[in-house]
Protein backbone atom coordinates (compact mmCIF):
# COMPACT_ATOMS: atom_id res chain seq x y z
CA UNK A 1 0.00 0.00 0.00
CA UNK A 2 1.18 3.52 -0.84
CA UNK A 3 0.34 5.89 2.03
CA UNK A 4 1.14 9.59 1.93
CA UNK A 5 1.44 12.25 4.62
CA UNK A 6 1.29 15.78 3.19
CA UNK A 7 2.62 18.09 5.90
CA UNK A 8 2.32 21.88 5.76
CA UNK A 9 5.11 23.49 7.78
CA UNK A 10 5.01 26.81 9.70
CA UNK A 11 1.49 26.66 11.15
CA UNK A 12 1.16 29.63 13.48
CA UNK A 13 3.79 31.75 11.75
CA UNK A 14 1.30 34.24 10.23
CA UNK A 15 -2.50 34.44 9.75
CA UNK A 16 -2.09 34.24 5.95
CA UNK A 17 -0.11 31.03 6.32
CA UNK A 18 -2.72 29.60 8.69
CA UNK A 19 -5.41 30.41 6.13
CA UNK A 20 -3.43 28.76 3.34
CA UNK A 21 -2.82 25.61 5.37
CA UNK A 22 -6.46 25.31 6.40
CA UNK A 23 -7.67 25.76 2.81
CA UNK A 24 -5.11 23.22 1.58
CA UNK A 25 -6.50 20.73 4.09
CA UNK A 26 -10.21 21.38 3.62
CA UNK A 27 -10.11 21.67 -0.19
CA UNK A 28 -6.94 19.78 -0.98
CA UNK A 29 -4.52 17.04 -0.04
CA UNK A 30 -2.78 18.44 3.08
CA UNK A 31 -3.35 16.00 5.94
CA UNK A 32 -0.90 17.28 8.53
CA UNK A 33 0.76 20.45 9.74
CA UNK A 34 3.50 21.43 12.18
CA UNK A 35 3.12 24.22 14.69
CA UNK A 36 5.60 27.00 15.50
CA UNK A 37 5.52 27.82 19.20
CA UNK A 38 6.95 31.30 18.61
CA UNK A 39 4.80 32.20 15.60
CA UNK A 40 2.88 35.48 15.78
CA UNK A 41 -0.33 33.66 14.79
CA UNK A 42 0.12 30.85 17.33
CA UNK A 43 -3.14 31.53 19.18
CA UNK A 44 -5.08 31.61 15.90
CA UNK A 45 -3.48 28.29 14.89
CA UNK A 46 -4.54 26.67 18.16
CA UNK A 47 -8.16 27.73 17.61
CA UNK A 48 -8.09 26.37 14.06
CA UNK A 49 -6.47 23.11 15.17
CA UNK A 50 -9.13 22.51 17.81
CA UNK A 51 -11.87 23.22 15.26
CA UNK A 52 -10.32 20.91 12.63
CA UNK A 53 -9.90 17.45 14.16
CA UNK A 54 -9.11 15.84 10.78
CA UNK A 55 -5.84 17.79 10.53
CA UNK A 56 -2.88 16.11 12.22
CA UNK A 57 -0.70 18.56 14.18
CA UNK A 58 2.99 18.23 15.01
CA UNK A 59 5.60 20.40 16.72
CA UNK A 60 7.90 22.43 14.44
CA UNK A 61 11.05 22.95 16.51
CA UNK A 62 12.47 26.37 15.65
CA UNK A 63 16.08 27.50 16.14
CA UNK A 64 16.56 29.50 12.93
CA UNK A 65 14.71 31.78 10.51
CA UNK A 66 15.10 35.11 12.27
CA UNK A 67 12.23 34.35 14.64
CA UNK A 68 12.02 35.14 18.35
CA UNK A 69 12.49 32.49 21.04
CA UNK A 70 9.76 31.31 23.39
CA UNK A 71 12.12 31.74 26.35
CA UNK A 72 13.21 35.08 27.77
CA UNK A 73 15.90 36.21 25.28
CA UNK A 74 18.24 37.04 28.18
CA UNK A 75 18.13 33.39 29.26
CA UNK A 76 19.01 31.91 25.84
CA UNK A 77 21.30 34.62 24.48
CA UNK A 78 23.82 32.19 22.97
CA UNK A 79 21.11 31.00 20.54
CA UNK A 80 20.37 34.50 19.28
CA UNK A 81 21.72 37.16 16.96
CA UNK A 82 20.36 40.62 17.79
CA UNK A 83 17.67 39.07 19.94
CA UNK A 84 16.41 36.53 17.41
CA UNK A 85 17.42 33.16 16.02
CA UNK A 86 19.97 33.20 13.17
CA UNK A 87 18.38 33.63 9.75
CA UNK A 88 19.86 30.50 8.17
CA UNK A 89 20.67 26.94 9.15
CA UNK A 90 24.23 27.54 7.95
CA UNK A 91 24.74 30.30 10.49
CA UNK A 92 23.16 28.26 13.29
CA UNK A 93 25.25 25.19 12.51
CA UNK A 94 28.45 27.23 12.40
CA UNK A 95 27.69 28.64 15.85
CA UNK A 96 26.72 25.21 17.14
CA UNK A 97 29.77 23.34 15.87
CA UNK A 98 32.21 26.03 17.04
CA UNK A 99 30.90 25.86 20.59
CA UNK A 100 29.26 29.28 20.67
CA UNK A 101 25.88 27.86 21.70
CA UNK A 102 25.35 26.95 25.34
CA UNK A 103 23.89 23.44 25.66
CA UNK A 104 21.77 24.30 28.68
CA UNK A 105 20.27 27.27 26.87
CA UNK A 106 19.51 25.05 23.88
CA UNK A 107 17.73 22.60 26.18
CA UNK A 108 15.82 25.41 27.89
CA UNK A 109 14.44 26.77 24.62
CA UNK A 110 13.45 23.37 23.22
CA UNK A 111 11.69 22.51 26.49
CA UNK A 112 9.89 25.86 26.38
CA UNK A 113 8.61 25.20 22.87
CA UNK A 114 7.33 21.75 23.82
CA UNK A 115 5.73 23.06 27.01
CA UNK A 116 3.94 25.90 25.25
CA UNK A 117 2.43 23.64 22.62
CA UNK A 118 1.62 20.69 24.87
CA UNK A 119 -0.11 22.96 27.40
CA UNK A 120 -2.75 23.87 24.78
CA UNK A 121 -4.26 20.38 24.82
CA UNK A 122 -4.01 19.98 21.04
CA UNK A 123 -3.18 16.30 20.30
CA UNK A 124 0.34 16.12 18.86
CA UNK A 125 1.14 13.52 16.21
CA UNK A 126 4.84 14.06 15.50
CA UNK A 127 7.96 16.24 15.66
CA UNK A 128 9.84 18.02 12.88
CA UNK A 129 11.97 21.15 12.63
CA UNK A 130 12.28 24.53 10.92
CA UNK A 131 15.03 24.01 8.30
CA UNK A 132 15.35 20.48 9.78
CA UNK A 133 17.62 21.47 12.66
CA UNK A 134 16.00 18.83 14.88
CA UNK A 135 18.19 16.10 13.35
CA UNK A 136 21.54 17.66 14.33
CA UNK A 137 23.47 15.43 16.77
CA UNK A 138 23.52 18.14 19.48
CA UNK A 139 19.80 18.85 19.07
CA UNK A 140 18.18 15.45 18.54
CA UNK A 141 18.92 14.05 22.05
CA UNK A 142 17.22 17.06 23.64
CA UNK A 143 14.23 16.70 21.31
CA UNK A 144 14.13 12.99 22.15
CA UNK A 145 14.00 13.73 25.89
CA UNK A 146 10.88 15.82 25.36
CA UNK A 147 9.32 13.26 23.03
CA UNK A 148 9.76 10.61 25.71
CA UNK A 149 8.39 12.97 28.33
CA UNK A 150 5.20 13.57 26.39
CA UNK A 151 4.80 10.13 24.80
CA UNK A 152 5.39 11.24 21.20
CA UNK A 153 6.99 8.58 18.99
CA UNK A 154 6.85 9.90 15.41
CA UNK A 155 9.55 12.15 13.94
CA UNK A 156 10.41 13.46 10.49
CA UNK A 157 13.67 12.28 8.97
CA UNK A 158 14.50 14.55 5.99
CA UNK A 159 16.56 12.31 3.74
CA UNK A 160 15.21 13.04 0.27
CA UNK A 161 16.96 11.04 -2.44
CA UNK A 162 20.16 12.82 -3.54
CA UNK A 163 19.30 11.93 -7.14
CA UNK A 164 16.05 13.92 -7.13
CA UNK A 165 16.40 17.46 -8.50
CA UNK A 166 12.85 17.67 -9.90
CA UNK A 167 13.45 20.70 -12.10
CA UNK A 168 15.57 22.67 -9.58
CA UNK A 169 19.00 23.66 -10.89
CA UNK A 170 20.49 25.19 -7.75
CA UNK A 171 23.84 23.54 -6.95
CA UNK A 172 23.88 25.23 -3.54
CA UNK A 173 20.49 23.78 -2.62
CA UNK A 174 21.54 20.33 -3.82
CA UNK A 175 24.76 20.43 -1.77
CA UNK A 176 22.79 21.50 1.29
CA UNK A 177 20.34 18.66 0.76
CA UNK A 178 23.05 16.05 0.44
CA UNK A 179 24.81 17.35 3.55
CA UNK A 180 21.64 17.24 5.59
CA UNK A 181 20.84 13.75 4.29
CA UNK A 182 24.24 12.57 5.54
CA UNK A 183 23.48 13.93 9.02
CA UNK A 184 20.01 12.39 8.88
CA UNK A 185 21.40 8.90 8.35
CA UNK A 186 22.97 9.00 11.81
CA UNK A 187 19.81 10.55 13.22
CA UNK A 188 17.86 7.55 11.91
CA UNK A 189 20.06 5.23 13.94
CA UNK A 190 19.53 7.31 17.08
CA UNK A 191 15.78 7.59 16.59
CA UNK A 192 15.35 3.87 15.90
CA UNK A 193 17.32 2.99 19.01
CA UNK A 194 14.94 5.20 21.00
CA UNK A 195 11.88 3.50 19.53
CA UNK A 196 10.74 6.36 17.29
CA UNK A 197 9.13 5.88 13.87
CA UNK A 198 9.54 7.86 10.65
CA UNK A 199 8.09 7.59 7.15
CA UNK A 200 10.20 5.48 4.85
CA UNK A 201 10.40 8.23 2.21
CA UNK A 202 10.64 12.02 2.47
CA UNK A 203 10.08 14.53 -0.36
CA UNK A 204 9.99 18.29 -0.84
CA UNK A 205 13.41 19.49 0.27
CA UNK A 206 14.78 20.27 -3.18
CA UNK A 207 11.51 22.02 -4.06
CA UNK A 208 11.17 23.69 -0.66
CA UNK A 209 9.08 26.85 -1.00
CA UNK A 210 8.68 26.19 -4.73
CA UNK A 211 6.44 23.13 -4.82
CA UNK A 212 4.17 24.17 -7.69
CA UNK A 213 1.74 21.79 -9.37
CA UNK A 214 4.16 20.26 -11.90
CA UNK A 215 6.82 19.77 -9.23
CA UNK A 216 4.29 18.09 -6.95
CA UNK A 217 3.18 15.77 -9.74
CA UNK A 218 6.84 14.95 -10.37
CA UNK A 219 7.21 13.85 -6.75
CA UNK A 220 3.94 11.92 -6.85
CA UNK A 221 5.28 9.94 -9.80
CA UNK A 222 8.01 8.70 -7.43
CA UNK A 223 5.50 7.99 -4.66
CA UNK A 224 3.36 5.90 -7.02
CA UNK A 225 6.27 3.52 -7.66
CA UNK A 226 7.26 2.88 -4.03
CA UNK A 227 5.14 1.06 -1.46
CA UNK A 228 5.30 2.27 2.14
CA UNK A 229 4.70 5.51 4.01
CA UNK A 230 5.84 8.75 2.36
CA UNK A 231 5.91 12.34 3.56
CA UNK A 232 5.77 15.41 1.33
CA UNK A 233 6.70 18.73 2.94
CA UNK A 234 4.89 21.84 1.71
CA UNK A 235 4.53 25.54 2.59
CA UNK A 236 1.11 26.80 1.46
CA UNK A 237 -0.08 30.30 2.28
CA UNK A 238 -1.93 33.28 0.85
CA UNK A 239 -0.60 36.50 -0.71
CA UNK A 240 3.02 36.04 -1.78
CA UNK A 241 3.67 39.78 -1.77
CA UNK A 242 2.69 40.28 1.87
CA UNK A 243 4.48 37.17 3.11
CA UNK A 244 7.68 37.80 1.15
CA UNK A 245 7.84 41.29 2.63
CA UNK A 246 8.01 39.69 6.08
CA UNK A 247 10.01 36.51 5.42
CA UNK A 248 12.86 36.84 2.88
CA UNK A 249 12.98 33.15 1.99
CA UNK A 250 11.79 33.40 -1.62
CA UNK A 251 8.84 31.07 -1.00
CA UNK A 252 5.91 30.72 -3.39
CA UNK A 253 3.13 30.26 -0.84
CA UNK A 254 0.24 30.87 -3.27
CA UNK A 255 1.60 28.45 -5.86
CA UNK A 256 2.00 25.72 -3.23
CA UNK A 257 -1.58 26.26 -2.04
CA UNK A 258 -2.81 26.02 -5.63
CA UNK A 259 -0.83 22.78 -6.07
CA UNK A 260 -2.27 21.31 -2.88
CA UNK A 261 -5.83 22.04 -4.03
CA UNK A 262 -5.32 21.04 -7.67
CA UNK A 263 -7.88 18.71 -9.27
CA UNK A 264 -5.08 17.19 -11.39
CA UNK A 265 -3.25 16.23 -8.22
CA UNK A 266 -6.35 14.65 -6.65
CA UNK A 267 -7.04 12.71 -9.84
CA UNK A 268 -3.44 11.44 -9.87
CA UNK A 269 -3.69 10.20 -6.28
CA UNK A 270 -6.92 8.36 -7.04
CA UNK A 271 -5.66 6.82 -10.29
CA UNK A 272 -2.49 5.55 -8.59
CA UNK A 273 -4.19 4.32 -5.40
CA UNK A 274 -2.21 6.59 -3.06
CA UNK A 275 -3.92 6.87 0.32
CA UNK A 276 -3.72 10.10 2.31
CA UNK A 277 -3.01 9.85 6.05
CA UNK A 278 -1.42 11.92 8.81
CA UNK A 279 1.25 10.90 11.32
CA UNK A 280 -1.37 9.87 13.86
CA UNK A 281 -2.91 7.32 11.49
CA UNK A 282 -0.13 4.75 11.32
CA UNK A 283 1.71 2.90 14.06
CA UNK A 284 4.51 0.76 12.69
CA UNK A 285 8.14 1.80 12.22
CA UNK A 286 8.54 1.81 8.46
CA UNK A 287 12.27 2.44 8.35
CA UNK A 288 13.98 -0.98 8.00
Structural domain contains residue 203: yes
- Taking the C-alpha atoms of residue 236 and residue 32, their distance in angstroms, rounded to an integer, is 12
Structural domain contains residue 29: yes
- Taking the C-alpha atoms of residue 287 and residue 54, their distance in angstroms, rounded to an integer, is 25
Helix and strand numbers, DSSP H then E, in the chain = 10, 7
Identify the CATH number of the domain in which residue 87 sits: 3.20.20.370
**Total of domains in the chain:** 1
Domain that holds residue 184: 2-281
Structural domain contains residue 234: yes
At 285 the pLDDT is: 45
Q: Residue 225 above 60 pLDDT?
A: yes
Structural domain contains residue 214: yes
Structural domain contains residue 287: no
Q: What is the CA radius of gyration of the chain?
A: 18
Structural domain contains residue 129: yes
∠ CA(179), CA(234), CA(13), 5° rounding? Answer: 100
Rounded to the nearest 5 percent, the helix, strand and coil shares of the chain are 45, 15, 40
DSSP string, 109-173: HHHHHHHHHHTTT-----EEEGGGGGGSTTTHHHHHHHHHHHT--BB------TT--TT---HHH
In the chain, the percentage of residues whose pLDDT exceeds 70 is 91
Residue 174's pLDDT band, with cuts at 50, 70 and 90, is very low
Total residues found in the chain within this entry:
288
The predicted model gives 140-169 an average pLDDT of 83
Structural domain contains residue 286: no
Q: Residue 167 above 70 pLDDT?
A: no
Q: Residue 287 above 60 pLDDT?
A: no
Structural domain contains residue 288: no
Could you report the per-residue pLDDT of 8-23, keeping only the tens digit for each?
Answer: 999 999 999 999 999 9
Amino acid sequence: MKRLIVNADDFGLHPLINEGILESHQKGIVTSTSLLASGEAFDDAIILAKETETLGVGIHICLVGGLAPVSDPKEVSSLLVNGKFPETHTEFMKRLFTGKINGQELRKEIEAQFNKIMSTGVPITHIDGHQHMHVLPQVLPIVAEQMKRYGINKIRMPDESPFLCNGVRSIGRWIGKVGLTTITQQAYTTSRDLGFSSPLYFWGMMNGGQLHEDALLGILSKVSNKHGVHEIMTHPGKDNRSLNALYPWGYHWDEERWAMTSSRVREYLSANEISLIHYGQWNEGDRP
